[in-house]
Chain A
Amino acid sequence: MDDPSHHAQSRKGDRVNIFLDDLNLEGYSLEPVAVALYSNGFKVIGRSKKLYRPRGFYSLEPEDRLLLTRIGDEYLNPCEVYCRDGQKIELSLSTPFLVKFFSPFLNGYFQHRRLLRNRFLWRLAVDKIRQFANHPDIRTVKTVKAVKTIQLESDVVIIGGGLAGLTAAYTVSQLGLRTLLIDKSLQLGGRLRYDYLDVPGISMPREQLLENIISRISLLKNLSILTKTVFAGFFEDYPIAYSQEERSLYILKAKAYIIATGQIDIPCVFRNNDLPGIFSGSTVLEMVNMYGVKPGERGLVIGFNQNSLRVAEQLKQLGINVALVDYSEPEKIQYSLSSIGECFGNVEEIEALGKTCVKNVKIVHDGRRDELKADFIVCSAFPSPDVRILNQLNSKMVFIDGVGFVPVHDEYMRLKDNIFIAGGASGTPYSILHMKEGEISALSAAYMLGVKEAESATDEKIREYKEKLREMNVGWKSVVFEFSRGKPIGDHVSNRPPTLFIEKPRKDAFICFCEDITAEDVSRTVYEKGYVLLELVKRSLGVCTGRCQGRLCMVNTALYVSYLSKLDPNRVGLSRARAPTTPIPLYAFIGGGDE
């Protein structure tokens, strides 16, 4: 096993000076502004929209876009912008007195209160809502640099440069097709970049595996690669991608698309789960392994599963103490947990304590209450595909017990028409399967484009893939294949969502971070208003309508509504996402018009 300790504390890129208000801070050119601020002790970098709760970053993915910060002349996502020398950052962290005073009354239903709907009070309320909703004022942004619009033609576009995407890119290009690979990070590799433990089922060490595959694809002449570029969804006429760093908007024209966008760690729902210092599993690994920034001294990792254990293991190797919690029994997983750290099963409720960031954690388990010291929390209980790109395409999504919402596709990895899927984006666990799916999706796409030799190879690969599925006990995949051919899926009971750690609907447990919507708000919608379809819950509350457009809240809301209403999650459903899947400035579109 490779020893990650020698990677620790090495910051990436050149040392630069960034300025927070008038403070000169240390940053590194290859790390996002948010990480630099965190390493300098600035954990609170924004305030929430309605309640002005302190906010840090939950993940470093650009699409999550939980807060905007004034960087230079613009309001930008501090997780998406990298440090530059002399960069000026302004944080506005004060809370207006009026909001402090009224915040106990501000919930998802405050605007419907009868008292407020008195003609004069409502007029006053409208004024105050406008004045105090915590949003950037775009009128103060004076200049913008131009954005180029670039049309890119290719045979196949692969979205996501993780193991599945890289494998697909290699396979497609090998068959002589013009291929374009898009990835939102600085470097290719997906999880392999920051998850330093070896990949189960693959004999090669992780580092070598990554080097191998990257050196192999770099030799291919018909493969172009775009990094720092976010795929922004399928419009009716063209799919587009956008790079904030490169200031480029790409119009994509390809004959086939392979979606390999991986999974995201869905935030856990517990009391004060919006405090700074609460991260997704992959974010913590990115911070420690890629940027050399420790999230804290002692952490709480939520989830007993492959991913959470890998996170805990790596934190422990860096000398960070961790405690693991979940509501299942700790014996149920094969790993020896005790070697990693303290471990609490049957956890019913979690409460993060601290005024502006996590200081301590209270847990309720086996009828006991314990207070643990922890200055950060990792949500790694439930990985799920980013459902938005998929349901933006109106491709069918189905809920599978113990897995979550997954896209419906056949064994050729075809979602619909000319769109294929591979890897974590299809809900599949295990890297070895991601590679297989990468190959199959690439071969199927190539066959569709008329590459004859792909046909026999596809069948062979599918046979291997199915064998591996059996070997690794991923039986639910065949349910998905059958479903895609029209075989109905049985009813599901509404189980407790894997992310839920509250005993009753709490006012301080957040489901939607963009719009400050809590578990209590959702439960009122279900119990008082009787809305149980996610489309209606969305419309009555505003979940999935914030900056992240449901990326972090859609699955949680659907599962929570299903849990409260005792309905099959497939009947609650998901809500439709729309292009663009990441916000794109109008100036980028205007540039697009000149081409």
Chain B
Amino acid sequence: MKIAVVGGGISGLSIAWNLAIRNEGEIHLFEKNWITYGSSTRSGARFRVHFWAEENSRFALESIRRLEKLARRMDWNPIIHRGGYLWLLLHEQHIDRFREANKMWSKLGVQGVFLDPGMVKERYPYINADDVLEAFFGPQDGSLHHDYVCFGYYSLAKKLGVIFHELTPVHNIIIENKKVKQLKTAKGLVDVDVIVLSAGAWTNELLENIGIRLPTEPVRKEMCLTEPYHYFIDPLIIDTGSGAFVGQTLKGEILGSLDYPTTPGLIQLETKFDFVVRWARAITKRIPVLKNARIMRTWAGYYMMSSDCSHIMGRDPEWPEGLYVAYGYSGHGFMMAPLVGELLAENILTGKIPELMKPFLPTRFKENKLIQEKMVIG
């Protein structure tokens, strides 16, 4: 069996490696640029297990466990650190919502802690908590190094014989007798039995070519990074009032972004001065000492948003045989991809649909079984 994975980001890499360890058939990975290009390398490099929807929380929890285990086998250190997420809650309804969700999280074993403003000031003296009613701290959440995770998968997959075609864009999928037959790539036609589309923001173009539409669209997100400073911000701090978040990397840089409206679509990956101004205002109000931090770099990447803000994996039985997708992560790629790879590989090779995967099938949109997830950060 010849399997082609399209997309060399975290999702494609995880799928390719998971297919390879099952040792069936020949696995090819096509990447239009270089490994990690696209949204993986532009990631904010954080992970969390706290989602509104139980399906997502459960999935992320299992997924991060997989990654932690795998980290020991990688030749790159994924720099996983559970520094926690701190949500600053300014409205009663947010607090109610978190209390409600915390019951579900407790059931999963990842309950968080509620902090009153006094405790916030005590634990994080640099935060201006004057208008904060309460805060929610999720200690199970944390950070990783996005490039190193990808490189780790890449080396593992390469060792197992996955054939990488870098700098090779895929233009089209050729279908014959309701079955995938070939991939049309920049280096010519390639015969395939199975195609996994995992090209993030660029997946829709390929799907639309063969008449498949899923409710997803890329949304540009911008980020700011400051010069490195002595470490002092441990958790990722989310200001639910302004929608801004901020964290510090192991290198000492302070990184953050905020909910900034843009036109959906594959717009240029540039950053706006106006965006930086808004982030700077929001974040210096929350953490006044950051006034003195200097912005060193800004960049942009896409969140591939699905209509229910959750990833899409697997296939619709009505699609041509051999076609699978794994995309629409809605900004949660690094937290979900390790498990997506494992479950999808099992699904492709055995035909069985694992229990954890069921809610995320592409058929959920037409069956109207949407996942109730609206918590997207950034």
Contacts and interface: CB of A to CB of B under 8 A. Distances in A.
Nearest to A540: B151
Given A137-B232, A547-B296, A251 B291 contact: no
Nearest to B146: A539
Contact of B76 (A112, A130, A237): A112
B350 interface: no
Interface stretch (B174-182, B278-286, B356-364): B278-286
A533 B34 contact: yes
Interface string A108-150: 0001110011000010001001110101111101001000000
B250 A130 contact: yes
B79 A586 contact: no
A563 B72 CA distance: 33
B298 interface: yes
B230 A236 contact: no
A240 interface: yes
A141 B289 contact: yes
Nearest to B83: A126
A135 B281 contact: no
Please report whether the interface of chain A is mostly helix, strand, loop or mixed according to DSSP: mixed
A236 B272 contact: yes
B100 interface: no
A49 interface: yes
Interface string B272-308: 1110111011011000011111111111000000000
Given A112-B75, A235-B270, A587-B284, A126 B294 contact: no
Given A130-B250, A540-B147, A586-B294, A235 B271 contact: yes
B266 to A, nearest CB: 15
A67 B373 CA distance: 45
Contact of B277 (A141, A144, A529, A590): A590
B41 A583 contact: no
Please report whether the interface of chain B is mostly helix, strand, loop or mixed according to DSSP: mixed
Contacts of A138: 229-230, 289-290, 292-293
Given A133-B228, A138-B229, A111 B79 contact: yes
B242 to A, nearest CB: 13
B77 interface: yes
Contacts of A584: 294-295
A583 B36 contact: no
Nearest to B166: A533
Given A111-B79, A112-B76, A586-B284, A578 B299 contact: yes
Given A540-B151, A580-B295, A586-B284, A136 B268 contact: no
Nearest to B273: A235
B58 interface: no
A589 B294 CA distance: 10
B280 A593 contact: yes
A585 B273 contact: no
Interface in A231-257: 235-238, 240, 251
A508 interface: no
B292 A585 contact: yes
A93 interface: no
A545 B252 CA distance: 12
Contacts of B292: 74-75, 138, 141, 144, 585-587
Contacts of B274: 237
A144 B281 CA distance: 15
A90 interface: no
A585 B34 contact: no
Contact of A549 (B231, B281, B297): B297
Interface residues of A, number: 50
Interface string A56-94: 000000000000000000110000000000000000000
B90 interface: no
A47 to B, nearest CB: 13
Contacts of A540: 147, 151
B162 interface: no
A526 interface: no
Nearest to A547: B227
A13 B281 CA distance: 38
A390 to B, nearest CB: 15
B277 A117 contact: no
A529 B296 CA distance: 28
A68 to B, nearest CB: 8
A586 B280 contact: yes
B229 A136 contact: yes
Contacts of B81: 126
A111 B148 CA distance: 11
A393 to B, nearest CB: 10
A296 interface: no
Interface string A410-437: 0000000000000000000000000000
Given A133-B228, A135-B228, A578-B298, A590 B291 contact: yes
A129 B271 contact: no
A345 interface: no
Which of B271, B272, B280, B293 gathers the greatest number of chain A CB atoms within 10 Å?
A: B280
A549 B227 CA distance: 10
B251 interface: yes
A204 interface: no
Nearest to A131: B231
A589 B299 contact: no
Given A117-B71, A533-B34, A580-B298, A137 B229 contact: yes
Contact of B271 (A116, A135, A139, A579): A579
Given A137-B230, A539-B41, A593-B281, A583 B35 contact: no
Nearest to B151: A540
Contacts of A580: 295-298
B284 to A, nearest CB: 6
A403 B108 CA distance: 61
B114 interface: no
Contacts of B34: 533, 535-536
B126 interface: yes
Given A112-B77, A236-B271, A533-B34, A133 B72 contact: no
Contacts of A137: 229-230, 232
A341 interface: no
Contacts of A593: 277-278, 280-281
Contacts of B299: 578
12 contacts: A113-B77, A117-B71, A122-B77, A130-B250, A135-B229, A144-B291, A533-B34, A540-B151, A579-B298, A586-B295, A589-B281, A592-B273
Given A111-B79, A585-B293, 4 more contacts: A137-B230, A139-B230, A583-B227, A590-B291
